[in-house]
């Protein structure tokens, strides 16, 4: 049975290749990146080949969803040559540009460009929704994001909209490499803004559950708050306090100088530590150094 299944799928791909619809076309100058285009109608020989495919097993269905999102089974063969072509380019790019500390910012931007080109080509054979689902499962950030949502009741439309928020941040600020102080502040502010958008999309009930999976620092603060019998919003307030602390300290170092900057940072650190203690108590802050490792002032 497995031999027949493999033969049938292989025969379908050969038919598709013979129909000439699998070639990854070069981007024409008039093509606008990211603009959804109507998928071309499938030739009769492709429709006939799809009809001969053996029934999909449950395990095959799970693997398809894991790799390609909600892309229908008959369209997986459509995108196979596209993914193969871009996969080879990605491997070559990573091998050529990888440094001792991983991918730097320039290399990351090159990868983002490649992934955006892949998405544009996917949209030529898939619906906009199917292309976004596939893109979500192909990008590392998308896979992590989907994993963070795994236990939440989120519709397909919500998931796509929220993923676009994460993808936009990743395009601009992903990768390793050095950020200058102003870029670091911009990155932190953008990160906070990204989470604010995710909060607005998920709501106050689902967002903490998402954050507990997505951010280890929040999960630790949540555990401290729960151990002290505090309301659920306390962990969120502590997490916001952590973000505020980092941005304020960065602003001082960028705009301040010398001893004045150092004194300002000490004052900020002390203020933040006292506000944290007001939320969960000084004892909880002192007894949980890992959860409060971001504090610059010890009570």
Please spell the DSSP secondary structure of 203-220, one letter per residue: HHHHHHHHHHHH-HHHHH
Both tokens of 63, joined, read 């693997």
94 alpha-carbon distance from chain centroid = 19
Single out the residue of 170, 161, 155, 40 nearest to residue 109, CA to CA. Answer: 170
Q: pLDDT (tens digit, 0 to 9) for every residue of the chain, 299 residues total?
A: 443 444 444 444 333 334 333 333 444 334 444 444 455 555 554 455 455 556 657 676 666 667 777 777 778 878 888 888 888 888 888 877 655 555 667 788 888 999 999 999 999 989 999 999 989 989 988 989 988 998 899 999 999 999 999 999 998 888 766 677 788 889 999 999 999 999 999 999 999 999 999 999 999 999 999 999 999 899 999 999 999 999 999 888 887 666 778 888 899 999 999 999 999 999 999 999 999 999 988 87
| CA–CA separation, 130 and 38 (whole Å) | 12
pLDDT for position 96:
73
| CA–CA separation, 119 and 36 (whole Å) | 10
The structure's pTM equals: 0.74
Q: Which residues of 227-249 are buried (b: 16+ CB within 10 A; e: fewer)?
A: eeebeeebbbbbbebbbebbeeb
Is residue 124 a part of any domain in this protein? Answer: yes
| CA–CA separation, 152 and 145 (whole Å) | 12
Q: Is 24 helix (H, G, I), strand (E, B) or coil?
A: coil
Is residue 34 a part of any domain in this protein? Answer: yes
| CA–CA separation, 68 and 64 (whole Å) | 6
Domain count, the chain: 1
Is residue 205 a part of any domain in this protein? Answer: no
Is residue 112 a part of any domain in this protein? Answer: yes
pLDDT for position 174:
80
pLDDT for position 99:
57
Is residue 6 a part of any domain in this protein? Answer: yes
| Range(s) of the domain holding residue 34 | 1-138
Is residue 20 a part of any domain in this protein? Answer: yes
> H-helix or E-strand containing 167?
helix 156-173
99 DSSP β-pair partners: 102
pLDDT for position 19:
39
Is residue 5 a part of any domain in this protein? Answer: yes
Is residue 128 a part of any domain in this protein? Answer: yes
Single out the residue of 43, 51, 38 nearest to residue 11, CA to CA. Answer: 51
Single out the residue of 122, 137, 25, 51 nearest to residue 80, CA to CA. Answer: 122
């Amino acid at each position: 049975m497995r031999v027949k299944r493999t033969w049938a799928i292989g025969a379908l791909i050969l038919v598709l290749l013979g129909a000439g619809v699998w070639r990854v076309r070069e981007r024409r100058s008039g093509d606008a990146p990211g603009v959804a285009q109507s998928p071309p109608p499938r030739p009769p020989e492709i429709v006939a080949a799809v009809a001969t495919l053996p029934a999909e097993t449950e395990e095959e269905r799970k693997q398809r969803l894991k790799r390609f999102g909600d892309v229908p089974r008959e369209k997986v063969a459509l995108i196979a040559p596209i993914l193969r072509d871009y996969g080879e380019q990605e491997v070559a790019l990573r091998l050529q540009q990888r440094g001792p500390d991983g991918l730097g910012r320039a290399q990351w931007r090159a990868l983002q460009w490649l992934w955006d080109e892949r998405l544009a080509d996917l949209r030529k054979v898939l619906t906009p929704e199917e292309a976004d689902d596939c893109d979500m499962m192909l990008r590392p950030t998308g896979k992590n994001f989907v994993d963070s949502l795994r236990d939440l009741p989120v519709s397909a439309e919500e998931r796509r909209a929220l993923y676009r928020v994460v993808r936009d941040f990743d395009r601009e600020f992903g990768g390793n490499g050095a950020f200058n102080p102003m870029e670091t502040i911009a990155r932190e502010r953008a990160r906070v803004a990204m989470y604010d958008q995710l909060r607005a999309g998920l709501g106050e009930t689902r967002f903490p559950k998402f954050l507990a999976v997505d951010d280890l620092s929040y999960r630790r603060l949540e555990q401290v708050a729960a151990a002290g019998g505090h309301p659920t919003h306390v962990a969120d307030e502590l997490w916001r306090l952590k973000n505020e602390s980092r941005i304020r300290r960065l602003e001082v170092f960028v705009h301040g100088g010398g001893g004045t900057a150092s004194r300002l940072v000490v004052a900020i650190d002390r203020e933040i530590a006292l506000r944290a203690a007001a939320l969960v108590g000084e004892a909880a802050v002192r007894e949980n150094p890992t959860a409060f490792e971001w504090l610059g002032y010890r009570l």
